[in-house]
Every structure is written in structure tokens, then in C-alpha cells.
Amino acid sequence: MGNFLSMMIMGMFAVFWLSFGVLETPSWAIAASYSPTGDAAEGAASKGYNAAVALYLLVWGFWLFTTWIFTLKTNTVFAAIFFFAFISSFLFSGAYWKVSTGDYGMAMKLQKVKIHFPTQFPRAQANEIRLAGQHSSFSPFLDIILPLS
């Protein structure tokens, strides 16, 4: 894998969070520039601002998709991280697009997408210990089963 890919990825994430933070910081008055009265809250609710943020997230989604393809040769953990990152970027972009069109219900649904992981494990047998009360972060109802042998 080398250090170059990791450096590029960490640098791009730094650029993303710094630039997204600038978009959301009221003192930069980016949202206020979309309002005829100069009100930041009104500008952040405007069609133009939300469409611009949606386009911004869409571009980052394509970068994350490209990076996901690069990480397919590295390891499964990197590939999984970038797979979920580019999917999330596209979902949030879609949510901003829906806000820009006034479809707030669909925007809320896009922000609350749930991924269900299979949690079916074999029943505990006599030689297994069930750790009661300890749950996975994916599902609060998942019991962990450890074999003794």
C-alpha cells in the first residue's frame, strides 16, 4: 500500500472537512449571500444554497468512489470504509437536492438510511458462553457467543 495513498487520503479528508466547515461557518457569510436580506438562516434554507451544497457533496462522492476503486487492491477495511463513505456522500447530496426542491420528507428519509447487518448466530450449546448484557454497536439486541473449545 505504501505511504503515498494514506497521505493522499488523509490530506483530502482534511481538505474536505476544512472546506465543508467554511461552508457552514456563519462568519464567512456564505449562506447569507444566498438571502436577499443577508440573513444567514434564510440563505441556508434557500434553493440555491442547498443545490450548491448538494453539488459540492456530489463531487466529493465521485472522488470517494474513485478512491474506493483504488483501495480495492489494498485491503478489505480500506475498501469498506470508502464504500460506505461514497454511499453516504451521495445520500447526503440527495438530501440537499431534496431540500432545494422543497421535498423535506424525502430529505429526512435520505438522512436516516439504515443498514441492517445479519445478526443470526447459532444457538448457544453446552460448551459455549453467552455474554449477557454486552451488545454489539451494530445491534443492541445482538448477543455475543464465544465457544469454549
Q: 86 and 15, same structural domain?
A: yes
Range of the domain at 149: 116-149
Same domain flag for 30 and 83: yes
Percentages helix, strand, coil for the chain (3-state, rounded to 5) are 60, 10, 30
pTM of the shown model: 0.69
Quick: pLDDT tens for 34-61: 998 988 888 888 999 999 999 999 999 9
- Total domains in the chain come to 2
Say whether both 80 and 136 belong to one domain: no
pLDDT tens per residue across span 82-113: 999 999 899 999 999 999 999 988 888 888 76
Q: Are residues 101 and 122 in the same domain?
A: no
Count Cβ atoms within 10 A of the Cβ of residue 61 and give its class: 0-12 exposed, 13-18 middle, 19 or more buried: buried
